[in-house]
Structure 1
């Protein structure tokens, strides 16, 4: 029997209480169902992966598209879905709150808001403005009465990985503003990751894997609660397609031999023929 939205949200909350879990990032319904079949306990959307699947660049999709996409992911599996909601698709605080309530309405179990400017300007919101936006997001979720995890993100390390102290200060401020989980994609060094975990404890930290040689056990030892890969799975899939297409251009079809069989895919996706 399919789990209800409330049951998915309850399961997602429980995952954040202890241990360390991997949160893969599917980009469409098929990849979401594949991740469920592979045995993962929760999913997170990827704004970049979804944009590429629509033939658009990263951050190239509109709010209505994203809401439909999130709703489709929620309906596709029995797993909780964490929404990559970018900067909330709004600069105005009332509009931001309204958009967050729309995301909650489609059934997500978690929702992340980042500090990239949403007013058409470049760069990031300063700490005071970012905190105000996280407080707005917190209030909007609370007004729904739903148990949806608020993830607060700072993206500054993706543009300058040396700004670790600034990123940690922002995460601490976000935690104080009501964020349930903290996230600074771009942090790489183990000491910096451990410092982030300590700074916001006991609230959980999400880590974007930046080093392919890292292991879940090593990351868990640093105190990280959630591990995600962002657009990494989508990039790997596109890379495989591009490599095979390049070979096909020169007349080689050997790459097709590495594909999954029709039978296996049909079984996974429910046809079984």
Structure 2
């Protein structure tokens, strides 16, 4: 990691020390540059958005998606590097489950993310197996512990996030709290609990967790604002693949208008070519 990347990663660590910030999710260099231009202090990747941009499904239950259809680790980390090389703000990487069950595999994934220029990354406990959708709690904590060891061995600033998908697979809030605290104890700098979208649940998590909380908005059309989440004590807010899905919704609408009606009203709301040319000027 060069001095510029190290400085960015240090800023990312500091963002997690106090307050509340919004970390929007990009899927390619263009989307990351647009989010950066809006003034966000950092950007994250979305595995869903990256997968969709490659014409692939996002990581899901294997009964609905064959494991071989999943975007592989090398492809995902290549996209992380592409984005990290083209933005001037810190980049956090969505690393799914670390691309393998074994703690050693997770550690390698973290080392690869560091080498790609990421300033942080998530490791989740979702397995993709409907019979056992979450990794065993002890193994899940060992996976975070291995990730922490890889970060420490790298010697660079990096925000390690332990994500639990308990709420997404129908588990209880108590189990969610136990797992999130176990991941924090194992070395995660921040806990990520997708599926927590109402004030009561989020307030309970903030009180019961032994570290900062990341929640994801934009998945269910929740009414909580960033100010609401700040008041509740949330440290970090992401939006997952919601921006990418909104973009693809516009693309699908344009395609249907062209195919079904042969009209072009979709173009009335486009960004002028000159604006995009200016935005995407190569950096000196």
TM-score by length of 1: 0.93
The answer as to 2:134 corresponding to 1:124 is yes
- C-alpha separation between the residues in 2 aligned to 1:78 and 1:121? 43
Q: Does 1:187 align with 2:188?
A: no
State which of 203, 224, 227 in structure 1 corresponds to 2:234.
224
1:229-270 C-alpha deviation (Å, 9 max, x unpaired): 100000000001111211111112111111100011111111
1:100 aligns with 2:110: yes
Q: CA deviation at 1:122?
A: 4.9
CA contact (8 A) 1:112 1:151 kept: yes
Secondary structure, counterpart of 1:4 in structure 2: helix
What displacement does 1:120 show? 10
Distance across 2 between alignment mates of 1:184 and 1:89: 19
1:60-114 per-position Cα deviation (integer Å, ceiling 9, x unaligned):
2001101111101111100101110011112222222122111111111111100
CA distance in structure 2 between the partners assigned to 1:97 and 1:167 by the alignment: 23
- Counterpart Cα distance in 2 of 1:120 and 1:236: 28
Deviates more, 1:207-216 or 1:256-265: 207-216
- Stretches of structure 1 that go unaligned for 5 or more consecutive residues are none
- Is 2:168 aligned against 1:158? yes
For these two proteins, the number of residue pairs brought into alignment is 268
User: Tell me, which stretches of 5 or more residues in structure 2 are unaligned?
Assistant: 60-69
Is residue 72 from structure 1 mapped to residue 82 from structure 2 by the alignment? yes
1:213 CA displacement:
2.6
Give the secondary structure class of the aligned counterpart of 1:234. helix
| Contact 2:133–2:169 (CA under 8 A) maintained in structure 1 | no
Corresponding residue SS for 1:112: strand
Match of 2:263 among 247, 252, 273: 252
Conserved? CA contact 1:12–1:42, under 8 Å: yes
Q: After TM superposition, where is structure 1 displaced by more than 4 Å over at least 4 residues in a row?
A: 118-122
Alignment partners' CA distance in 1, 2:41 and 2:3: 13
Give 1:20's aligned residue: 20
- Find the aligned partners of 1:146 and 1:3 in 2 and give their Cα distance: 10
Deviations 1:20-66 (Å, cap 9, x if unpaired)?
A: 11100011000000111111110110001100000000022001101
Distance 1:111 1:213 in 2: 27
Q: How big is the shift at 1:118?
A: 7.3
The answer on 1:205 being equivalent to 2:216 is no
| Preserved contact between residue 188 and residue 211 of structure 1 (Cα < 8 Å) | no
What's the CA shift for 1:128?
Answer: 1.2
Q: Tell me the equivalent position of 1:53.
A: 53
Bigger drift between 103-112 and 231-240 goes to: 103-112
Of 164, 171, 175, the residue aligned with 2:180 is 171
Out of 102, 118, 123, the position equivalent to 1:113 is 123
Superposition CA RMSD, Å: 1.8
Secondary structure of the residue aligned to 1:213 is coil
Counterpart residue number, 2:276: 265
